[in-house]
Amino acid sequence: MEIIRIPRIALDTCRKHLLKGRSIGFVPTMGALHEGHLSLIRRSRSENDITAGSIFVNPMQFGPSEDFDKYPRDIENDIRKMRDEEVDILFMPDRSVIYPERFSTYINIGELSGKLCGRFRPGHFTGVATIVSKLFNIINPTRAYFGQKDFQQTVTIKKMVKDLNFNIDVVVCPTVREPDGLAMSSRNTYLNEEQRKAASVIFKCLTKASDMIKSGIINPEQAKELMLKAISEEALITDTDYASVYDPETLDEITEMSGDVLLAVAVQVGTTRLIDNVLINM
Amino acid sequence: MEIIRIPRIALDTCRKHLLKGRSIGFVPTMGALHEGHLSLIRRSRSENDITAGSIFVNPMQFGPSEDFDKYPRDIENDIRKMRDEEVDILFMPDRSVIYPERFSTYINIGELSGKLCGRFRPGHFTGVATIVSKLFNIINPTRAYFGQKDFQQTVTIKKMVKDLNFNIDVVVCPTVREPDGLAMSSRNTYLNEEQRKAASVIFKCLTKASDMIKSGIINPEQAKELMLKAISEEALITDTDYASVYDPETLDEITEMSGDVLLAVAVQVGTTRLIDNVLINM
């Protein structure tokens, strides 16, 4: 595994592979790797000649009151995991080469950025789109891999790829879960034992609502109530940002079902914000 | 010359050349081609294996009260000129494939967009950056060619290329001028005979100020006064947006000279807005 810290070197290295006709799969991460990330790497390895990963905790996608400083960093283990998964290229730039002095260019995705998590994290998806477009230009991947857990992220990146004519396939991979259903997330490490147990209610409420809909009760209001009720019964969930039924393309809350639907939840467990979702193909 | 109207086909065609190790020079235009454009094409031909041109009058870079509808269109002659200059690929997309319904992604370059022309054309440089990034992703050029006449455009595009890690050399070519010094511009066709004569004062005032500075009077205030005075003596110049001395990197007006300076002018001649500039290497 080649570890590269300089954009220009990563660019030249990836370009050489490209010129030899090799496909490049790309797995951008913020490190603190878990099984979810590793599943993306494995999928990339199975579909491409070369797999490139990146580790960069992107300050631009954190709000001023968010957890940038305490975001888990475990660089030695991350490198080991990437190597064990036979990643070919690991791009691990310093903040100063990604955002040099007087950096000032931003990609705004429009309405989609303001929905769901965007309402609670202003600027977050501008930060995501900007860093991802930079990484795309550096790595020049054939395919890029993202987890479905961050559903709105996948939708906004697909939107950017389409609107700006990036020649990249965005591959969305299934959410990887703990045995009790909790979606894997680097932020799960913030939870104490009791909070960790309580957090399992997120996937449980999504499953309940999903089961209800699949059983034929295709009523978004009822699904929403079911989720909110289940969450409210868990005392350690301190706040609910949203829990409802959405159009998976527009991310608008829906009151009538026609076509695929997204059940999505964002809650606070103490100071930790957790999200999850389930997509139902009708 | 291959004429291509569909982004995906342009992308695949350019990619084939790229995979054969060929360099691609790119000359994006809004059509109504004049000698300035042709000089960019010739420069590209001399430096690259393949030259791609594009013609697209980009609605996003026109303000609501600007001249999008009446902007000169002369597509038959443009195609002939591109062919005569031995352009290899002409990308000529319809508006609907560049901005399909629900298009919503914008690239904001930050402070530079608000300087000089940006003060009078809000949104203009966001429109420029967005279309150029789209064209860059479609054509994947090795080098892209722009005229120095649109100096702020070249600065913002260079900034975007740097900030977003595009692997493209931005080549700025000298302004091509009419015999009386007027910078070539598609908008010159708007001028009637008298206005056309009056417009020559733009380059004359730039030359006067430049000569003064080069003669050793390195005083921005005096240079500015000289330009404003020359312009004010021309009755057909109906308004002056700006005429002064600027830092060519930050585009800020300067009061003391240290390093290169930009003399830049934007005026109205009737309903026609004309710009020009001279760069002085100190």
- Residue A226, domain CATH: 3.30.1300.10
pLDDT confidence of A45, banded at 50, 70, 90?
Answer: very high
ipTM of the prediction: 0.96
Of the partner residues A15, A105, A133, the one whose CB lies closest to the CB of residue B110: A105
- Among B173, B204, B239, the domain-final residue is B173
Domain co-membership, A191 together with A125: no
Domain co-membership, A111 together with A230: no
Choose, out of B112, B130, B132, B164, the residue to mutate when testing the contact with A (most A CBs < 10 Å): B164
Domain co-membership, B63 together with B168: yes
Residue B138 C-alpha, separation from nearest chain A C-alpha, in angstroms: 6
Domain co-membership, B94 together with B231: no
Q: Are A246 and A213 in contact (CB under 8 A)?
A: no
The pair of three-digit structure tokens given for residue B85, joined into one six-digit string: 């200059």
Cα A241 to Cα B260: distance, rounded to the nearest angstrom:
53
pLDDT confidence of A258, banded at 50, 70, 90?
Answer: confident
Closest chain A residue to the Cα of B159, Cα to Cα: A105
The most confident of the ranges A118-127, A250-259, B252-261 is A118-127
Say which CATH number the domain at B25 has: 3.40.50.620
Which residues of B belong to the active site? 37
Judged by a CB distance cut-off of 8 A, whether residue B64 touches chain A is no
Residue A169 domain-assigned? yes
Residue B178 domain-assigned? no
Residue pLDDT, tens place only, A187-236: 999 999 999 999 999 999 999 999 999 999 989 999 999 999 999 999 99
Domain co-membership, A142 together with A209: no
- Among A141, A173, A205, the domain-final residue is A173
Cα B14 to Cα A11: distance, rounded to the nearest angstrom:
19
- Among B173, B208, B241, the domain-final residue is B173
Domain co-membership, A143 together with A168: yes
pLDDT value of position B282? 82
Cα A234 to Cα A244: distance, rounded to the nearest angstrom:
17
pTM of the model: 0.97
Cα B118 to Cα A195: distance, rounded to the nearest angstrom:
52
Residue B181 domain-assigned? no
pLDDT value of position B278? 98
Domain co-membership, B59 together with B147: yes
Judged by a CB distance cut-off of 8 A, whether residue B167 touches chain A is yes
Residue B179 domain-assigned? no
Cross-chain Cβ contact B160/A105 below 8 Å? yes
Domain co-membership, A163 together with A217: no
Residue A179 domain-assigned? no
pLDDT value of position B258? 84
Residue B197 domain-assigned? yes
Domain co-membership, B44 together with B143: yes
Residue B204 domain-assigned? yes
pLDDT value of position A282? 82
Average pLDDT per block of 10 residues along chain B, 282 residues long? 98 97 98 98 98 98 95 97 98 98 97 96 97 98 98 98 98 98 97 98 98 94 97 97 97 92 97 97 86
- pLDDT, average across residues A242-246: 98
Domain co-membership, B75 together with B113: yes
Domain co-membership, B17 together with B111: yes
Domain co-membership, B7 together with B98: yes
pLDDT confidence of A49, banded at 50, 70, 90?
Answer: very high
Report how many domains make up chain B. Answer: 2
The pair of three-digit structure tokens given for residue A278, joined into one six-digit string: 């389930």
* Chain A residues touching B104 at Cβ < 8 A: 109-112, 159, 163
The burial class, CB within 10 Å (0-12 / 13-18 / 19+), for B270 is middle
pLDDT value of position A257? 86
Residue B214 domain-assigned? yes
Which residues form the domain of B267? 186-280
Cα A170 to Cα B256: distance, rounded to the nearest angstrom:
51
